[in-house]
Structure 1
């Protein structure tokens, strides 16, 4: 209940007049004079109180008081004026403090009520100064948003572009800090009191709420503002969780409809980049020793320089390769200072970058690397990392499904299309698919069991040359797991060794069928000693059944083809085989740029043996000629029975001079075939590609013409 100060003043004056009228002593008027003086000093201040005390002392002469009474009562009146002023001032200060505290409490309570109504973090930060400015009179508020790398930005408010030292201190110490008084240049009035409240999310500063006013900060206010900042921080965390949940649901829904790894990667990039504020991004997959782009999102003006890097990243340095080899994410806000930074990215001014390995099941390292970059400097806060981790998990699951589908489709296509290719082409396609699809592979070779030995029938970037043979014991020694494990088709991984001197990791798969190892598939990596892991084993085992099926069928087909291409009497290749191999060998010689010579041989004196000694003797003579041609030739030479008593010999990597030497030797060997005094001889025609002929037809025609010319010239 308020005190009726005017009534007390009137009552005091009335009492003084009554005491004077009754002729009473001044001591009876003293209490009322004290009331009058004290109320005046309490309400209007010390000076009016002292003036009212002086007026009261002057009025004491009406009561005919003594000098001592004047002095005593004057002292009492002046003391009451002073004490009343002090008490009044104290009450006024308490009233102002209570009023201000009530105002701050109102701000706090309304903040608690209003903050949860916002559904976006940016909206909350943008509206916060306006909301609090309506409640905090005579105060100036602004929000400084922390963007990382030593940068803060003023959010939609007037004021200086550079934050005060107190704002930086609040960011560094992550606690409320205040300064009193502080001279703020942009605030009228000069001396002011500043408060900086960091807004934390996941214990990391997101922004700073700066409040400047002309009155000092009291502990109660600081406590309430600190609690308000904590409330805002918790709401920011809640909004971040909601935004992350919405983003992940959206990404999961989009990835569920993605049919290929390209669409999966593109969908993840288009969802993730806006959420993180990134400008450029790519999803890279390790294939055959390089990181190849599955998908990328690059601004139009940057594509000429960045698209080649996104398509294929060969250098084994830099953050992307670091993330691949280590299996750990790489974050940086100063990319240009990194020793492995690519010059193209440095020239374009990229500073913020992440290389994030995408882990699939059973993989010790990320076979896929997600790379995102921004030309400015952005902080890799826990919030951004949580978004990245959540999307990476969805991307990992979707990519694993897409890569598995790709593997199955490629194997099925091999099985369905294999019969439309020659045998050697089938082996090469099998190996290419394995090298491309088995994680960690860069090179490889495929060894097939043929005629008592394993023959290298296909090689991709391997140190082995096709055609090289290895015995069964040698291959088992290389496999090093034992024959029982080989017959079970158990793959093995060897680290620190492999094909050739450069290989550092090898994956060997024995392909067994009906109690025999039909083939060995070798895959290698010359750059990573830990290239192969459980995911590699799981992928390579999918090739076992297709390889066994294809090799078995191809060998059966080869046996049938060999029967169709072999002369039944001599065991040599027949005319049909000659027509096929001639074209193949000419094309091979053209591709590898080596000479190829052809010898055409027509026997002489064969008809007398056949006519006088019988057809059995003639057959014997032909078999002996075939044996002489095979023994007189070299490894790699191809001998054909062209028809009747005519033969042909293909000499790969042999020029004209070398062919003449081989021809003389073969003629001598034929001359040694004799029966009952009848000895054979032959006419010879020779031609060489590309010295003398430019095609298979020209080569055959020239050699045939020379053979007939030799026949006409001989007696």
Structure 2
């Protein structure tokens, strides 16, 4: 069929007007929705635009018929073939086409379906129907128009991607913190990409928690997202571990869907990893849902990729700022706060800020060994009595002495049995595996904190689920802690030394009465809180006055120093011995019931009675009181121990325990 001159002029006018109007559309969706009206103004009266949705095509806009009368088409028809084949499909006589779907009340003879592309991908189909066939020249003209429309769609999507990422960068750049940036990002992305629900999830130890949510339906069912998704459950963890995005056009039918999104009526889902650095493991996730089934176009995936990169850069900046701000705050606290409080906040900050950490512990160098001073995720009472030698701590860290001295973090991920074997090979004390839960640990990070060539402390961080929990980003975050924490610990150590000088008896080197008055309430409060026994010994020397009077004060001082050496030699981890003044001494024995304290007192008495100076022996009378058997407050326990010490003296025995 050939065109008449009038038809040719009309066709040229139509195509010219259509091509002139294409650049006037503000965005790709506006262009697609506006095509039917554009053709209607030029005389075509039966025009529609179809977009892919799940396994069918949905009418996006139509002119000449009610979209509600035919909202969907299967892919077997004329429009579906054009979509699947990516080529124009022309049917001169629809009556001869078995896939044609007739619409009641509309006389149609021929149909032309034109795929519209963005960067080569078919994103929609422009469909024209007529009561008469199309001429060859018309078909060629419409094919050319479809190419021009596809070119314009590609330009609009490219502009949309650029504007979206630019505005997104501006939005998150104005945020006050990480959570504010996440909220702003969702508020911007949801309308731009046509989503109805959204969340930004961040890994925190063994949980994947929502830091921002969008969409009213999702907010109503947000509990599971804010409480956290346990390690390994649902598709979100698979996306994190693989670093590859996931797109579902029928998420509501997925067996691995999140219940919160299901409750919000989400039917299509995009899960996109947010990279926080070039070498960092993915630990954040953008979830974008739609209440309609939809096929995620390649161009939409590219937009999500660009948005995720923008978010990742912003989030990484906020992470670094938070780490530095936290360390500065700890440094300020170290000036006045009690060391125990600073230690505890330090471990809490490390668990929160080092990616992959679930639990943590801090060992501080004291008296030549390392004592546990703060834990997160463990019971401190189990750790409190334990002191590790430097050799044990070095063996747990590993053989690289230079790395130990530099404060280089090391990662171990040997599996539960291998970690337990590593622990045993480090010569750890009995029970160490049990209270540190070594058999449950999947991976661990150890960070020595050196200052002027000496390691002042060791920070241990653990993960109980993921052997690959700690990565280069974890090491980078851990390294940030070394210089400020070393200075902080040095400051605390200097404070401790000054305080200990004020709390130390100059003659014997034992803590003095002032130290006892400080430590006894603290130990008793811990015993009450954690429910363990505590014993108190009050001691008075026998024979000391004779030695002092007959042999002189220098020999008397020597006797007191010998007694202090005996007490120090018998001390277990956690025990404290004090010189009250004159020839009086005291001891605090945590985790010791009255029977155990009586046995310890007998052994002490035997060692003191072995001290002889120029033929004059020493002895001791010891009174024992125990929490909770003998009392639950300081005054009662002190009074009881003192009374029993006098009873021991009166009855001529070394120890009186009840």
Give the structure-2-normalised TM-score. 0.85
More contact order relative to length (CA 8 Å, sep ≥ 6): 2
- In the alignment, the residues of structure 2 paired with residue 233 and residue 345 of structure 1 have an alpha-carbon distance, to the nearest angstrom, of 34
Match of 1:360 among 256, 265, 276: 276
Relative to structure 1, the CA distance from residue 679 to residue 266 in structure 2 (aligned partners, 3 Å threshold; closer, same or farther) is same
- In the alignment, the residues of structure 2 paired with residue 661 and residue 710 of structure 1 have an alpha-carbon distance, to the nearest angstrom, of 15
Residues 545-556 of structure 1: pairs in structure 2 closer than 5 A: 545-556=483-494
Structure with more helix by fraction: 1
Residues 572-611 of structure 1: pairs in structure 2 closer than 5 A: 572-611=510-549
Deviations 1:637-694 (A, max 9, x none): 3222222222222221122233333334444444455557765554443322123322
Residues 614-629 of structure 1: pairs in structure 2 closer than 5 A: 614-629=552-567
By how many angstroms is 1:100 displaced? 3.6
Match of 2:81 among 144, 165, 169: 169
By how many angstroms is 1:221 displaced? 2.3
- Equivalent position SS for 2:111: strand
- In the alignment, the residues of structure 2 paired with residue 593 and residue 214 of structure 1 have an alpha-carbon distance, to the nearest angstrom, of 91
1:446 has 2:362 as partner: yes
CA contact (8 A) 2:108 2:132 kept: no
1:343 has 2:259 as partner: yes
Deviations 1:376-415 (A, max 9, x none): 3122112321221222222122222221111111111111
By how many angstroms is 1:582 displaced? 0.7
Residues 19-418 of structure 1: pairs in structure 2 closer than 5 A: 97-136=4-43, 139-155=45-61, 157=63, 158-159=65-66, 160-163=69-72, 165-182=77-94, 185-186=102-103, 188=105, 190=107, 192-299=109-216, 301-418=217-334
- In the alignment, the residues of structure 2 paired with residue 117 and residue 630 of structure 1 have an alpha-carbon distance, to the nearest angstrom, of 89
Match of 2:341 among 414, 425, 442: 425
Relative to structure 1, the CA distance from residue 451 to residue 673 in structure 2 (aligned partners, 3 Å threshold; closer, same or farther) is closer
CA contact (8 A) 1:683 1:711 kept: yes
Residues 524-535 of structure 1: pairs in structure 2 closer than 5 A: 524-535=462-473
- In the alignment, the residues of structure 2 paired with residue 597 and residue 456 of structure 1 have an alpha-carbon distance, to the nearest angstrom, of 21
CA contact (8 A) 2:623 2:646 kept: yes
Deviates more, 1:213-222 or 1:510-519: 510-519
By how many angstroms is 1:577 displaced? 1.3
Relative to structure 1, the CA distance from residue 691 to residue 474 in structure 2 (aligned partners, 3 Å threshold; closer, same or farther) is closer
Relative to structure 1, the CA distance from residue 490 to residue 675 in structure 2 (aligned partners, 3 Å threshold; closer, same or farther) is closer
By how many angstroms is 1:573 displaced? 2.0
Deviations 1:594-650 (A, max 9, x none): 111112223345434434444344334433443444456655432222222222222
CA contact (8 A) 2:371 2:384 kept: yes
- In the alignment, the residues of structure 2 paired with residue 603 and residue 181 of structure 1 have an alpha-carbon distance, to the nearest angstrom, of 119
CA contact (8 A) 1:129 1:143 kept: yes
- In the alignment, the residues of structure 1 paired with residue 277 and residue 507 of structure 2 have an alpha-carbon distance, to the nearest angstrom, of 59
Q: What is the RMSD computed on CA atoms of the aligned residues?
A: 3.1
By how many angstroms is 1:203 displaced? 2.9
- In the alignment, the residues of structure 2 paired with residue 496 and residue 190 of structure 1 have an alpha-carbon distance, to the nearest angstrom, of 74
Partner of 2:498: 560
CA contact (8 A) 2:578 2:587 kept: yes
CA contact (8 A) 2:52 2:294 kept: no
- Equivalent position SS for 2:439: coil
Partner of 2:434: none
- In the alignment, the residues of structure 1 paired with residue 113 and residue 547 of structure 2 have an alpha-carbon distance, to the nearest angstrom, of 117
CA contact (8 A) 1:323 1:330 kept: yes
By how many angstroms is 1:247 displaced? 2.4
- Equivalent position SS for 1:594: coil
By how many angstroms is 1:426 displaced? 2.8
CA contact (8 A) 1:144 1:207 kept: yes
* Number of residue pairs matched by the alignment: 620
By how many angstroms is 1:592 displaced? 2.2
- In the alignment, the residues of structure 1 paired with residue 291 and residue 191 of structure 2 have an alpha-carbon distance, to the nearest angstrom, of 14
By how many angstroms is 1:211 displaced? 1.9
Relative to structure 1, the CA distance from residue 189 to residue 631 in structure 2 (aligned partners, 3 Å threshold; closer, same or farther) is closer
Relative to structure 1, the CA distance from residue 336 to residue 431 in structure 2 (aligned partners, 3 Å threshold; closer, same or farther) is same
- In the alignment, the residues of structure 1 paired with residue 404 and residue 344 of structure 2 have an alpha-carbon distance, to the nearest angstrom, of 22
1:652 has 2:652 as partner: no
CA contact (8 A) 1:505 1:528 kept: yes
Relative to structure 1, the CA distance from residue 588 to residue 189 in structure 2 (aligned partners, 3 Å threshold; closer, same or farther) is closer
CA contact (8 A) 2:541 2:620 kept: yes
- Equivalent position SS for 1:581: helix
Relative to structure 1, the CA distance from residue 269 to residue 460 in structure 2 (aligned partners, 3 Å threshold; closer, same or farther) is same
- In the alignment, the residues of structure 2 paired with residue 584 and residue 170 of structure 1 have an alpha-carbon distance, to the nearest angstrom, of 80
- In the alignment, the residues of structure 1 paired with residue 567 and residue 30 of structure 2 have an alpha-carbon distance, to the nearest angstrom, of 92
Partner of 1:76: none
- Equivalent position SS for 1:247: helix
The structure that has the greater radius of gyration is 1
CA contact (8 A) 1:298 1:306 kept: no
By how many angstroms is 1:230 displaced? 1.8
- Equivalent position SS for 1:155: strand
CA contact (8 A) 1:641 1:647 kept: yes
CA contact (8 A) 2:221 2:264 kept: no
By how many angstroms is 1:494 displaced? 4.2
Partner of 1:663: 601
Give the structure-1-normalised TM-score. 0.79
Partner of 1:465: 383
- In the alignment, the residues of structure 1 paired with residue 193 and residue 544 of structure 2 have an alpha-carbon distance, to the nearest angstrom, of 88
CA contact (8 A) 2:218 2:263 kept: no
CA contact (8 A) 1:489 1:509 kept: yes
Match of 1:697 among 635, 638, 647: 635
Relative to structure 1, the CA distance from residue 305 to residue 140 in structure 2 (aligned partners, 3 Å threshold; closer, same or farther) is closer
By how many angstroms is 1:152 displaced? 0.6
Runs of 5+ consecutive residues of structure 1 not aligned to the other structure: 1-92
By how many angstroms is 1:272 displaced? 0.6
- In the alignment, the residues of structure 1 paired with residue 299 and residue 176 of structure 2 have an alpha-carbon distance, to the nearest angstrom, of 30
- Equivalent position SS for 1:622: helix
Deviates more, 1:486-495 or 1:164-173: 486-495
Partner of 2:626: 688
